[in-house]
């Protein structure tokens, strides 16, 4: 098993804020590569790492098994599962419903201070090395969260954070190509421009296109990887 360590990245702190369940902590360790496919998940060791009792660990592993992140094998116990394409597709479908819902509210309530914060995050993204895929994912999470965190529906926000965390676990270690890196910047710029212009409907349409484009990109990446493995 890979060494477990405290998570410090901005995006992961956002996704785990107020959500320090054992389920989320194990999923975060999968998302950040501290636990990788094939690693054994020994309940007593995990309970010691997370400073909890065995029962919450067992419950979390059962939940993660139901979502395809953990497998239970006879005589070897629980292990981190390999990637499931269907899980990623379902997550993107949920995000394509949630994110326009959040932005449609934000567009009518955003403050000048929040728009400045978005612009600051965008400048940090623009300053990244084009090869810094982890940094891109991290700041992209921060950019979206700044738009969504003001929403009144706390249950929907928790669902969004959970699905983003699942995406990190599914492809957190995959590189982002230069074309997609630049497209993300351009799409963020367009959304920010429309928000500043007060064109709420166009901003929601631009965000929807942004989320769909991200889903299409990762679907093609994973499809190519699966095709290569089966060749």
Best CATH choice for the domain 85-230 from the list 3.40.50.300, 3.30.420.10, 1.20.120.530, 3.30.1330.40: 1.20.120.530
pLDDT in tens, the chain (231 residues): 444 434 457 787 887 776 678 988 888 888 777 888 888 999 999 999 999 999 999 999 998 888 778 888 877 789 888 766 777 788 889 999 999 999 999 999 999 999 999 999 999 999 999 999 888 988 999 999 999 999 999 999 989 988 888 887 777 667 899 999 999 999 999 999 999 999 999 999 999 999 999 988 888 887 777 677 666
Is 31 within 8 Å of 169 (Cβ atoms)?
yes
- Cβ neighbours for 26, distance < 8 A, ≥ 6 positions apart: 35, 41, 46, 50, 57, 60, 61, 64
Is 64 within 8 Å of 25 (Cβ atoms)?
no
Give the Cα separation of 37 and 72 in Å (integer): 13
**What pTM value is reported for the model?**
0.80
Q: What is the pLDDT of residue 173?
A: 67
Dmax over CA atoms of the chain, in Å, equals: 61
On whether the 10-80 domain is CATH 3.40.50.1000, my answer is no
Which residue ranges make up each domain of the chain?
Answer: 10-80, 85-230
Vertex 56 angle, CA 53 and 58, to 5°: 105
């Amino acid at each position: 098993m890979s060494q477990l360590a405290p998570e410090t990245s901005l995006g992961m702190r956002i996704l785990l804020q107020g959500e320090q369940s054992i389920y989320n902590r194990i999923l975060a360790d999968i998302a950040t590569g501290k636990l990788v496919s094939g690693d054994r998940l020994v309940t007593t060791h995990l309970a010691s790492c997370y400073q909890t009792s065995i029962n919450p660990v067992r419950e979390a592993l059962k939940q993660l098994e139901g979502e395809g992140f953990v497998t239970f094998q006879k005589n070897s116990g629980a292990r981190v599962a390999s990637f499931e394409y269907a899980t990623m597709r379902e997550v993107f479908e949920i995000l394509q419903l949630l994110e326009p819902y959040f932005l449609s509210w934000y567009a009518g309530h955003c403050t000048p201070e929040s728009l400045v914060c978005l612009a600051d995050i965008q400048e940090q993204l623009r300053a990244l090395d084009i090869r810094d895929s982890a940094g891109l994912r991290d700041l992209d999470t921060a950019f979206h969260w700044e738009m969504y965190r003001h929403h009144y529906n706390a249950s929907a926000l928790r669902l969004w954070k959970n699905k983003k965390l699942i995406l990190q676990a599914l492809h957190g270690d995959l590189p982002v190509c230069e074309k997609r890196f630049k497209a993300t910047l351009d799409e963020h710029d367009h959304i920010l421009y429309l928000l500043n212009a007060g064109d709420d409907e166009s901003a929601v349409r631009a965000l929807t296109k942004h989320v769909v484009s991200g889903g299409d990109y990762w679907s093609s990446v994973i499809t190519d990887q699966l095709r290569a493995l089966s060749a």
